[in-house]
Amino acid sequence: MKHTRTTARFAGAAVTLTMLVAGASAASVGTPAAAATAPSLKITSGPYHNEQAISLSVGPNHFFTPYSHVNVLECADPKGKKKNLPTSVVSCDGNTIQGNTILVQKNGSFSEHGYQLYVLPNAAQLGESPDTRPICSAKAMCVLYIGQNQEKFTAPKIFSPPFEIRKSGKGS
């Protein structure tokens, strides 16, 4: 008679969700199937300006599915309030999706270097009309959606802290 032993594995420690931007912290998560704690997001600190390339990364975690891909998009977050975070892709600008594939590693980590931020709407770089939504500017707060499926907001996702984007800045 053959005996099989099954062992369940769980994360040894919870990962705290702390997103850092210019000393501010904010948090928001999706509901992944495994119900793991959302990971920390590291992101280039602001203030931000139009066409600025930033870097973002997420360390090892059990929140994002290994070998899946994640997308990054700019989304509206009116007044920078957690209660106003996007609940669907309608609040996001599909023209701002990153150009390359971001692959989640075996340990759940991933990074993106050179993600470009834009003042929105943006006629010059993205060909958008002035009445296009969302609005991301020095007067209208935005967040970055970072998740596995922007068309399905129940898929694992996190948001950056809210931020503003200036039309131009030094070093642009």
Per-residue pLDDT tens digits for 107-145: 999 999 999 999 999 999 999 999 999 999 999 999 999
Residue 85, in any domain of the structure: yes
What's the N-to-C CA distance of the chain in angstroms? 70
Q: Quickly tell me which residue has 């020095």 as its tokens.
A: 138
- The model's pLDDT over 42-90, given as tens digits with 9 standing for 90+, comes to 999 999 999 999 999 999 999 999 999 999 999 999 999 999 999 999 9
Structurally, how many domains does the chain consist of? 1
Comparing 17 with 165, the larger pLDDT belongs to: 165
Residue 4, in any domain of the structure: no
The domain spanning residue 91 has which CATH number? 2.60.40.230
Whole-prediction pTM? 0.78
Residue 112, in any domain of the structure: yes
Residue 58 tokens, joined: 């997420």
CA–centroid distance for 121 within its chain: 19
Asked if the model's pLDDT at residue 5 lies above 80, the reply is no
Instruction: Please give the pLDDT value at position 35.
Output: 67
Residue 149, in any domain of the structure: yes
Report H helices in 89-165: 123-126
Asked if the model's pLDDT at residue 16 lies above 70, the reply is no
3-state helix, strand, coil in the chain (%, to 5): 10, 30, 60
Residue 154, in any domain of the structure: yes
Residue 128, in any domain of the structure: yes
Range of the domain at 156: 28-166
C-beta separation of 104 from 65 below 8 A: yes
Instruction: Please give the pLDDT value at position 172.
Output: 41
